[in-house]
Structure 1
Amino acid sequence: MALLEVRGLCARHGAVPVLHDVSFHVGRGEIVALLGGNGAGKTTVARCVSGLHRPSSGEVTLDGRDITRCDPRRIVRWGLSHVSEGRRVFPSLTVEENLTLGAYLDGRRTHVVAERREGVYRTFPRLAERRTQRAGSMSGGEQQMLVIGRGLMSAPALLVLDEPSAGLAPASVAALGEDIAAIRAGGTAVLLIEQHLQLALRLADRLVVLRDGHVILSGSTEEVAADPRIGRMYFGDGDSPDRVVPETRQAHSSPS
């Protein structure tokens, strides 16, 4: 059984259809990248699976449980954490205070919250160094670490990351890739919503490509990277799909 199953998902923004029969799945301990340009529908998919947007039809299940029209708090409790685009930190709060807010459903279990914070600090040692620093004074890359760490504070089985590389310098994108790989190695599955093709190719087990709210490509990373349509989407009609394949691929390690 897939951890996350999306079947025939359709959604609207007002009267305007934005998703059309979108289907895919994410397995346990797997990274699946959802790719597409601006307006493709990627963020709407993320908001539908996390309960922030009500689909017009279709079904979303998490670990076999129907969550299509569930309250977002309940979805978090059942094991899905959504890190929205835009690095939305609480700027006047410290790193530690921001992380603690990520465990709001378990706030009274102070020992559990403390253990989870230490786990985040092991994944992101730089956050440990800056635990008393106000989040608003941190760099963009550090703030991205912080919002991902806050997402991990609910101990999710599935982490949904919406455009985590947006606006980051190349060095920060490379570090982000290492962090996402480490999260998966720890047993957390990742749905990676991205425009950054090379990051997705380096990390993902499978790719799902959206255009105008439709799935136009879906399969293993190798299969999709070899398809001429992905090359045309990113590089234009005159370019070879061979340009899509990255020089190196992030090593995948299965969770123990």
Structure 2
Amino acid sequence: MSANLLSLEGVHTHIGAYHILHGVDLAVPRGQLTMLLGRNGAGKTTTLRTIMGLWHASQGRVRFGERDITALHTPQIAELGIAYVPENMGIFSDLTVRENMLLAARGASNAAQMDEARLKWIFELFPAVQKFWDHPAGKLSGGQKQMLAVSRAIVEPRELLIVDEPSKGLAPAIINNMIEAFDALKKSGVTILLVEQNIHFAQRLGDTVAVMDNGRVVHSGSMAAFSADEELQRSLLGLAL
């Protein structure tokens, strides 16, 4: 079994006439939390969308375990045990929290058929999901919507969770709650790939880090070593952590 659950090898992605990714090499170790950092426009979200098959690589390979998933469509990729929480969260505002969760629980046709033990675990991670169970999702706060988005992604067991900027726009108290939840998810055995701009979030959670610039990964290694090297941080991110 490969030590890396997910790997990208020389991935190029074009969107229309625009060449966005220029040979991305990325490894996400099994059972760890990998932070994908970089300035705005570096190609982080495009990398996530390419992994999920929302955009297809024009060159290179995306592998999940030993399987080449480069040419698969998004539903096929999701069926392999990969969940994706986009930056806009993808919440169905007119549906209740319960209905949003039920849509993601593909093995259940009604709420009573959802895995009770798993729901209890999710409610422990995100109490607001239980509190607002029958409320319209569109009425939730930004932090509550983010909790719902992550809860929906893990309502069924997943091997890999991919999340785009989970702390964006959230209050510090909600960010701390999110950090604790992702830490618990990692300890449960879920491999996680996070795009994040909040440096405190990245330092607290990251095992490994990859930094992107101009459509390429320009640095990868341990998060601890990266956090200790202010000169490297300034050269890659334009700031020190």
TM-score clears 0.5? yes
- In structure 2, what is the Cα distance between the partners aligned to 1:40 and 1:18? 9
User: Does 2:123 align with 1:121?
Assistant: yes
Partner of 1:48: 50
Shift of 1:198: 2.0
Report SS of the residue matched to 2:161.
Answer: strand
Residue by residue over 1:21-77, the C-alpha shift from the partner in whole angstroms, topping out at 9 and shown as x without a partner, is 111211222100000121110001101111111011111111211111101111111
Alignment counterpart, residue 165 of structure 1, candidates 164, 167, 175:
167
**Structure 1: tracts of 5 or more residues without a match:** 245-256
Partner of 1:250: none
AA partner of residue 114 (structure 1): D
Does the aligned pair in 1 maintain the 2:31–2:186 contact within 8 Å? yes
Partner of 1:229: 232
Partner of 1:210: 212
Residue by residue over 1:143-163, the C-alpha shift from the partner in whole angstroms, topping out at 9 and shown as x without a partner, is 100000001123210000011
Partner of 1:132: 134
Q: How many residues align?
A: 237
Compared CA separation, residues 235 and 36, structure 1 to 2 (3 A): closer
Shift of 1:114: 3.1
Shift of 1:209: 0.4
Q: What is the correspondence of 1:48-197 to structure 2 with a 5 Å cutoff?
A: 48-104=50-106, 106-108=107-109, 113-115=114-116, 116-197=118-199
AA partner of residue 234 (structure 2): G
- In structure 1, what is the Cα distance between the partners aligned to 2:180 and 2:124? 13
- In structure 2, what is the Cα distance between the partners aligned to 1:211 and 1:154? 34
Shift of 1:126: 2.3
- In structure 2, what is the Cα distance between the partners aligned to 1:162 and 1:57? 23
- In structure 2, what is the Cα distance between the partners aligned to 1:29 and 1:103? 23
AA partner of residue 228 (structure 2): A
Residue by residue over 1:119-157, the C-alpha shift from the partner in whole angstroms, topping out at 9 and shown as x without a partner, is 322322221122111111111111100000001123210
After TM superposition, the score normalised by the length of structure 1 is 0.86
- In structure 1, what is the Cα distance between the partners aligned to 2:82 and 2:173? 28
Deviates more, 1:22-31 or 1:107-116: 107-116
- In structure 2, what is the Cα distance between the partners aligned to 1:132 and 1:216? 46
